[in-house]
Amino acid sequence: MQLRDNFNSDTLMVENPKISKISPKIHIIGNDGWATFKAEGNCTGEGTSTDPYVISDLNINAGGSGSCIIIQNSDIYFKIKNSTIWNSGISFGDAGISLIGVVNGLIENNTLYDNYSGIRLDNSDNNLILNNTILGGFNIGIFFYANSQYNNVSKNIIKNGNYAVQSYFTNSNITIYNNTMISNTYGLYLAGVNHTITDNILKENLYGIRIGDSHDSKIFRNIINGSKSGAYGLYVINSDNVKIVNNTLKYGGDTAMYLVGGFYNEVIGNIVSYNGDNNGDHGVIIESSRYIILLNNTISFNTGSGLFLNEVYATTDYNKILNNKIHNNGGSGVIIGSSNFNNISNNKIHDNGAYGVRIGSNFNNISNNIFRDDAGGPYGAEIYISYSGNNNLIFANYFISSLFNPGRDLGSNNKWNSSSIGNYWSSYAGVDANDDGVGDTPYAILGGSYDFLPIWWDSPQILINSPNEDDTFELSPTFNISVSQGNVNNSWYTLDNGITNITFTGLNGVIDKEEWNEKGAGQIVLTFFVNDSKGYVGSETVQVIKSYDTPQIAIISPTLNEIFGFNAPDFNITINDLSPINATWYTIDGGLANYTFSGLTGFINQLGWGQKEDGVLTIRFYANDSLGNLGFEDVNVIKDTTAPNIAINSPIQDDIFGSTSPEFNISIIEENLVSTWYTLEGVAGTFSFTGLTGTINQGIWDSIPQGEISITFYAEDGAGNIGIESVIVIKSIPSQPGTPGIPGYNISIMLLGIFSIAIISLLKKMKKF
């Protein structure tokens, strides 16, 4: 069905209009009028709350004049439902359904179109308008004309008209709940007090919601999207004590929320994003208003500034902007122009296209906000105070900004710190030596002002005293750190870049053994951390090396091929290892018998030594450490318990020598010969020689009287074994020959003497053997 549109240029279509009984226009006056209407068979019911009069399933065409249905001066219960009501007149008082002086009416599930007003209420209370569809061709979808209260408009669809719902100022306590209003000039245009507007969807209207002179009203949980350029999503004018809570205003073509001329209004928990077609379109404007509270709102991605406070015909003072998130707006986050005594606190303001906050007014308090990475505007500042901004107080804010100096002050007598604290500046270059949370030097603000008490707290600074870089350990090392600045609250370290953190107390300790043992050999990075009571963290790293080396043994004694006899050798060793040594032992038989010992010195077991044959013996020393690594070292020694064997080749027994000392030639069987010497019977001392041949000392020989002389030869080996062999020679020096034929000598007597000497010599030999 095609409808005419007296108020919009569009041609509208109604799909599947109700197939209902065609009815003439209806006009019921008073309760008696209802009785007559029923008696004529036009409705059902008894007019009670449980059995109301019911007008239903009608199709009423007013023919372009007057109203389709008029109910007047009625306080009984009735319903108008399931009807198609259309084509009223276009005069101000014409409507599809008009209630005048009516109480207890229910208008439900009707389709109304092509009427001046779809539903009009005048001096009517406690009526419910539910689940109706009001389509184009109307000036006002639902119109509260005058002196109506406690009416409820719920779950209706109102499209393509001028005003979806309108109320004049003498009405009150209207509830508008869960309606859908699309493509109207005004979604809601209300005056009057104590209205409740909740959970409605207003889409692509020129204005979403406009209320004026509407005190004590509540606007909760509405979605206002796509308001047109040149209009506002939510416009509140000259209204006090209005609560605007948890609404969403997005994708509007102009400023999303505009509050002007009000007192004590509260704007809480709203989302205002992606609004505005040009730079003058802001997220929220507050003008000529006082004591407004903006709390916990998100104002973001709007073309202009996020929030603009300004004076037009009255001052905009004493407002509170608290705990809001204001970010990524094309202009500044907040503009305070010609607005005094405002409190901007605890907001998160970041990534806006100009300043974080721009101030052109006086006596404002800017505190406890977080400013981060706003573009800084032409003056490169998070907060910019113009020449007209005086006596403002800025303190306890956090400026975490890439801007070199995020403050600029061209006004006068502005204070950038309170009596106890200033602001945090990420570009502050000073220190806080006494850890009182205040930087020791002022922070300079561009324009000549100073923050004399900048918030600053130095992170703890760690020095690792041990271990040192590239120290090598097998077992978990000890550590010792010192903290050069800051107060330590907690301490911890990690061996795996923070996957596992091990806490500790004090300044020294031992690296956790389980964590250490899980690490393989090679480089390990130890990172130590400390934090302070504010959560600031200081850290320092050191790289150490984990090794699996075996114990290294060095044998000082015995030495290689050292010779020993019957007595077992002593020993002296050294052991180098990064881990404690668990046990030490040695073997002299290839491990058949092991002999443990403690310390680094001792004696080879005498019993075991005595059981070994002469020859080369291998002594092997062992050591294992606490990690189970085993080291060993060998030394070969010689056992020799056999004395050298001497054979005297010459002189032979009873060789006779005269004045010339005899020569000798001997043989010695001994692999480890160390020294040789001889002695002469009756002569003190020994006479060493080398080799196997030689001559008896001539001088000593000369001093020996004639007769038998025992020569004893000695040979000593490396083990101290001594071999001995002797031979007896005769020293005989003939007398000098006399004059031949000397008289007086008897030859017989001379022979007897020679014989006697021979007998004596023989007897001595026999005695010897």
Q: 636: helix, coil or strand?
A: strand
Measured between alpha carbons, how far is 370 from 399 in angstroms, rounded to an integer? 6
Measured between alpha carbons, how far is 366 from 399 in angstroms, rounded to an integer? 12
Sign, Cα dihedral of 462, 468, 473, 477: negative
In contact, 301 and 328? CB cutoff 8 Å? yes
Q: Find all residues with CB under 8 Å of 653, minimum gap 6, and list them.
A: 727, 728
Q: Give the CA angle between residues 513, 518, 520 to the nearest 5°.
A: 115
pLDDT at 755: 53
Burial of 643 (0-12, 13-18, 19+ CB in 10 A): middle
Please choose, from the candidates 642, 649, 699, the residue with its C-alpha nearest in 3D space to the C-alpha of residue 673: 642
Top-tier CATH class for 645-731: mainly beta
pLDDT at 532: 83
In contact, 275 and 233? CB cutoff 8 Å? yes
Measured between alpha carbons, how far is 116 from 107 in angstroms, rounded to an integer? 17
- Is the pTM higher than 0.75? The answer reads no
Which tokens is 36 given?
A: 């007559």
In contact, 598 and 571? CB cutoff 8 Å? no
pLDDT at 737: 60
- Please report, as a single letter, which amino acid is at residue 209: I
pLDDT at 762: 52
Q: Which residues pair with 314 in a beta bridge?
A: none
In contact, 649 and 570? CB cutoff 8 Å? no
Measured between alpha carbons, how far is 174 from 194 in angstroms, rounded to an integer? 7
User: Are both 1-205 and 461-546 of the same fold?
Assistant: no
**Where are the chain's structural domains?**
1-205, 461-546, 552-639, 645-731
pLDDT at 583: 94
CA dist 606 → 129, 568, 719 (Å): 119, 5, 15
CATH code 3.40.50.920 for 552-639: no
pLDDT at 405: 79
In contact, 340 and 363? CB cutoff 8 Å? yes
Collect the ranges in the chain with pLDDT lower than 70.
Answer: 1-20, 379-380, 736-769
Top-tier CATH class for 1-205: mainly beta
Q: Which helix (H) or strand (E) holds 34?
A: helix 30-39
- Please report, as a single letter, which amino acid is at residue 720: G
Measured between alpha carbons, how far is 392 from 385 in angstroms, rounded to an integer? 9
**Residue with structure tokens 């080799």?**
691
Pairing of strands 196-198, 218-220: parallel
Q: In the CATH scheme, what is the code of domain 461-546?
A: 2.60.40.1220
Measured between alpha carbons, how far is 270 from 719 in angstroms, rounded to an integer? 106
Q: Find all residues with CB under 8 Å of 42, minimum gap 6, and list them.
A: 26, 55
Q: 236: helix, coil or strand?
A: strand
Cite the DSSP H helix spans in 132-204: none
pLDDT at 7: 40
Please choose, from the candidates 411, 306, 294, the residue with its C-alpha nearest in 3D space to the C-alpha of residue 342: 294
Q: Find all residues with CB under 8 Å of 306, minimum gap 6, and list them.
A: 272, 282, 283, 284, 299, 300, 326, 327, 329, 331, 332, 333, 334, 349, 352
517-549 b/e with 16+ CB inside 10 Å = b? eeeeeeebebbbbbbbeeeebbbbebebebeeb
Measured between alpha carbons, how far is 58 from 72 in angstroms, rounded to an integer? 19
Name the E strands within 475-514: 478-485, 490-494, 502-504, 508-510
pLDDT at 700: 92
Burial of 153 (0-12, 13-18, 19+ CB in 10 A): buried
pLDDT at 757: 52
